[in-house]
Chain A
Amino acid sequence: MARTDRVRGRIAATVSVIGELLITAGVIMALFVVYSLWWTNVLADREAKKQGNQVRDHWANAPSGPGALDTKDGIGFLHVPAMKNGEVLVKPGTGGKVLNEGVAGFYREPVKAAMPWDKRGNFTLAAHRDGHGAKFHNIDKISTGDPVVFETRDVWYVYKVFAELKETSRFNTDVINPVPKESGRTAPGRFLTLTTCTPVYTSDYRYIVWAELQRTEKVDAKRTPPKELR
């Protein structure tokens, strides 16, 4: 009798430990969600703000003229009124290290991005949809005709959205070609491409938005934004 009790007690103890481990695993996964969707945003926004201020300081203090462009810190700021997220610093590269700082990166591979000041080409950008600043979270709020403005030290580049691709394979590198065929354009031009992951909270597919340069405006002494941002 005493022996079966001891066996039963041991089984009960084992079951309760397994139960507690399962509950613990659940709590850790819940914490990971909190980390991914909230804490990484806190860290990334802090970092992006710091780096953005640094770039603006450089712009204010550096002598103007060609050759003074500092690409390492960031080449400028992206403004997309439809995403309602203020300004996004743009830096070189699309690796995790760059994008996790709450910035957008321009592609260097597999297809190298053209710069906005190049005569022709595609200025291709990537940023996080969720976590790490989630700078392109509201990419689905952008529709055809919306303005996208890129701000450098001396020039405002005003683009207009002309096509969206709501879902494509993540291996579809054609979307960042100099002439992205799927956007409907067949001749070279001055394009801008935004890429991020979709659906939200996953990385199964990619969401693409294409825009085309409408005009440029010189930055004045007060940095008055173009009318699209007012």
Chain B
Amino acid sequence: MYVWIWRHLPGNAWVKALVSLLLVLGTVYVLFQYVFPWAEPLLPFNDVTVDNGMPAGGAMTEWR
């Protein structure tokens, strides 16, 4: 997969390395900016309140 991408990048090895770096940075940006903030409330790692199973304040806080 990554070999395939590398082969299809334009230019010589240096240009390819630079483009790869930009691709990696872009992916990390998309993950931090959009994917992780979306995924976080769906995962049960960060509930801090006591509640009776009802979502508090409109946020999804419950995993039974």
Within 8 A of B (CB), among A158-213: 168, 170-173, 175-176, 195-197, 201-203, 206
What residue in chain B is nearest A136 (Cβ atoms)?
B48
Cβ A203 vs Cβ B44 within 8 A: yes
Nearest to A96 among chain B residues (CB) is B59
Q: Contacting B56 at CB < 8 Å: which of A31, A32, A109, A202?
A: A109
Instruction: List residues of B (23-64) whose CB comes within 8 Å of A's CBs.
Output: 28, 31-32, 36, 39-41, 44-54, 56-61
B14 within 8 A of A: no
**What is the bound-complex CA distance between A35 and B44, given in angstroms?**
15
Q: Is the CB of B36 within 8 A of A32?
A: yes
Given A20-B2, A31-B32, 10 more A-B residue pairs with CB atoms under 8 Å apart are A32-B31, A35-B32, A94-B48, A96-B59, A110-B52, A126-B49, A173-B52, A203-B45, A203-B48, A206-B50
Q: Please, could you name 30 A-B residue pairs with CB atoms under 8 Å apart, sorted by A?
A: A17-B1, A21-B1, A31-B32, A32-B39, A35-B31, A39-B32, A94-B56, A94-B57, A95-B59, A96-B41, A96-B57, A96-B61, A97-B57, A99-B48, A109-B56, A110-B52, A110-B56, A130-B45, A130-B46, A131-B46, A136-B48, A170-B50, A171-B52, A172-B50, A173-B50, A175-B50, A176-B50, A197-B48, A206-B48, A206-B49
